[in-house]
Amino acid sequence: MGRLAAALGAGIAILLLWQGAVTLFAPPPFILPGPAAVARRLWLDRALLLDHGLITLAEIGLGLVIGTLIGIGAAIAISASRPLRRILLPLVIASQAVPVFAIAPLLVLWLGYGMASKIAMAAIVIFFPVTIALADGIARLEPGLVDLARVMTGGGSPRGRRWRLLRHLYGPAALPALGSGLRIAAAVAPIGAVIGEWVGSAGGLGWLMLQANARAKIDLMFAALALLAVIALLLYRLVDGALRRATPWANSTDILKESEPT
């Protein structure tokens, strides 16, 4: 409840500062509309915003799933052997050195103007934090735990032993690190989808922003931005809540909270 109150207080403070700037400087509405104008546009065009918001939400959700699966697979491959690490890790890092705006036109050219190119764009943005976080979590396992687990799972075929190690040791131990990567991925997931919509699409909040900007409907553009921010916040809270339930042992305490007296 305290976090919700703090978030609401911060939001109200931002709105007050925004309204104060509009009142003080009186910019034209096509440059900076006030919060009331944006709220009015949100209500009047709620059906339009909802339709395009659902398109963007579907792109983000599918991109998050695909990017997470690719990231988990890449992290396991990087951690599986040193030769694979030497090959894959530079490729993973190099993939993030290329600007996303340079990749988006190619994806639109290859995959078309539909959702596929936007899902691929979101997955590209997402898989890097998942890969690096999970690979780092696996690498930080205590060698003693690994040796003990290998002794305790000594029976059976080599493939069976590797599976048991992955299931009972590497997986649970690396889940908190994977959770950190997934939280980052949930926060940046909208970036890939919206950039893909900017480059070429027939729908979505990014497309709606471009159309509104071209027609000087800045209140509609701000309304689409507000809806996109809400989607990002809800997605982050959903992922964070699921991870907290999946890894209750990894939930850290509030460092600002005073320790209990002994």
Domain ranges for the chain, please list them: 33-247
At 238 the pLDDT is: 92
Q: Which residue has the tokens 């131990």?
A: 173
Residue-wise pLDDT for 196-206, tens only, equals: 899 888 889 99
Coil/strand/helix, residue 99:
coil
CA nearest 72: which of 122, 126, 121?
A: 126
Q: Rounded to an integer, what distance in angstroms lies between the CA atom of residue 193 and that of residue 115?
A: 9
Residue-wise pLDDT for 89-102, tens only, equals: 888 888 888 888 88
Q: What is the mean pLDDT of residues 116-144?
A: 87
End-to-end CA distance of the chain: 27
pLDDT band at residue 224 under the 50/70/90 scheme: very high
Show the tokens assigned to 68. Answer: 């997470």
pLDDT at 171 over 50: yes
At 261 the pLDDT is: 47
The answer to whether 49 touches 225, Cβ cutoff 8 Å, is no
The answer to whether 187 touches 12, Cβ cutoff 8 Å, is no
At 257 the pLDDT is: 45
Q: What is the mean pLDDT of residues 45-57?
A: 95
pLDDT at 37 over 60: yes
The class (CATH top level) of 33-247 is mainly alpha
**Global pTM value:** 0.83
pLDDT at 256 over 50: no
Show the tokens assigned to 129. Answer: 């934090």
Least confident of 74-78, 108-112, 222-226, 245-249: 245-249
Q: What is the mean pLDDT of residues 216-239?
A: 92
Q: What is the mean pLDDT of residues 117-146?
A: 85
Which residue type occupies 240? D
Q: Rounded to an integer, what distance in angstroms lies between the CA atom of residue 207 and that of residue 178?
A: 32
pLDDT band at residue 104 under the 50/70/90 scheme: confident
pLDDT band at residue 168 under the 50/70/90 scheme: low
